[in-house]
Amino acid sequence: MEIPRIMIAAGSSGSGKTTITCGLLQALKNRGLNAASFKCGPDYIDPLFHKTIFKTPSKNLDTFFTDPGTVRYLMAETAVYADIAVIEGVMGYYDGAGIKTYAASSYELADITDTPVVFIVNAHGMGLSVIPYIKGFLEYKSGSGIKAVILNGVSGMVYKELKPLIEELGVTAAGYLPDMPEYQFESRHLGLVMPGGVLDIKDKINGLALRAEEYIDIDKILSIAKSAPCMEVPPLEIMPACNSGSVCIGVAMDEAFCFYYEDNLQLLEKLGARLVYFSPLYDKELPEGIHGCIFGGGYPELYLDILSSNTTMLNSVKKALTDKKMPYIAECGGFLYLHESMEDIKKHHSYKLAGVIPASASYKGKLQHFGYITLSPAGHLNGRSGYKMAEGLKAHEFHYYGSTDNGKSFIARKPFRSTEWNCIHQQGQGFAGFPHLYFYSNPDFAREFVEKCSAYSFLCSDS
């Protein structure tokens, strides 16, 4: 497929990738171009930010979660109707799933998808040292993929003097951005602040687009994107697990529960499920006629008073999941919502919640587990009922809260390390824990979930 595409990458976090990506996306939109945006890695918030603010398709691409062919398929599926695909990199360009590997890095994704790279350099406080810094990234891998450089945090005078020196390295100098503290985005303990929490967001984004047009050579970036070679996209056939629309799955979606991989939800639909969205914050009960439900991650800790006071929803959830044995998946924040109780961040108060998981949760003040993991059933569960197709399911953990019972049904193992720990409550039809699951890493797990929901629908019809 011919997909004009570009990656915005950098040497480290905090270099300005998000700022420049947002400015570029709005500038492209202002030019009447239809952009599809992607985030390298497991981050939920940046794709949600792009989707909400720019009204553009935005998904994750992750070379740890899926094989190269699936990565290209998922990219092409989203970008097929776009004029250009823009990928925002993660961390430093060569930083991967372990300290000594570039596996799952921005570099690996750019290499797998043959995507030209625009390299952002936070050059604030630097002069000539910018040149060996860029040179090192260009030469670390002979096929670095870096085609252009943008300097961030410099004046026009400094950029004018450095531009010819940068181009002597064999890359295009595609512009700069001066220091613009008024256009910085705030962060929260899980990453970029949610779009609804940024004051005057539209004004900020439009201002960024104007600065991008003024200081960055967007025409040159478009030319580089169009130079990307055709991408080989293998077919990926997903056979339905049920009659289309016969299985209805409720998905918790509001300010407290909004961390979902878009491809996870679309895979459930490809398998034949119909998704119905509901709010644990504002709705009184689970939707009628659902045969399973998913509680994703998010920020339940910010809404504990509302969640706890919505007793009709809490009772509805417990009755469906505990008494009626409705199939469910709960991840991180959704897992915490199913606890008996959860303390607020300041530990001033403990709030009663759904009570499906016989445990309590509290804020620990530091990351409990962080990074990629692969799940495998604990030995004592082999051959027993539950989710038999979850072997090798890949996921990501990132949480500051802890539970008095993380679950013991599965073992989480970190790649490139010997670290492992127990996780996941697997209670027959339920699958709940801190890991954020990526269904395309093992589509059979998603199929099994839909099949459990389908079996539950027959039980409902019989009763």
Residues in Cβ contact with 324 at an 8 Å cutoff, skipping those fewer than 6 apart:
none
Measuring CA to CA, how many Å separate 96 from each of 5, 12, 90, 99, 127? 22, 12, 9, 7, 29
Token pair of 22, please?
Answer: 């947002």
Any idea which residue has 């005057």 for tokens? 200
Task: Report the C-alpha gap between 69 and 232 in whole angstroms.
Answer: 8
Measuring CA to CA, how many Å separate 380 from each of 358, 387, 421, 433? 21, 14, 15, 18
Active-site residue, 460 included: no
Q: Which of 248, 332, 423, 453 is catalytic?
A: 332
**β-sheet bridge partners, residue 330:** 295, 432
The answer to whether 106 and 97 are in contact (CB under 8 A) is: no
Task: Report the C-alpha gap between 119 and 137 in whole angstroms.
Answer: 9
Task: Report the C-alpha gap between 274 and 232 in whole angstroms.
Answer: 31
Task: Report the C-alpha gap between 22 and 37 in whole angstroms.
Answer: 10
**β-sheet bridge partners, residue 371:** 397
Q: If we measure between CA atoms, which residue out of 90, 43, 27, 36 comes closest to residue 58?
A: 36
Task: Report the C-alpha gap between 248 and 238 in whole angstroms.
Answer: 18
Sheet of 369-377, strand order: 420-423, 410-413, 369-377, 394-399, 436-437
Q: For 302, list phi and psi in degrees, rounded to 5.
A: -85, -10
Length of the chain: 463
Task: Report the C-alpha gap between 163 and 172 in whole angstroms.
Answer: 9
Residue positions annotated with a catalytic role: 332
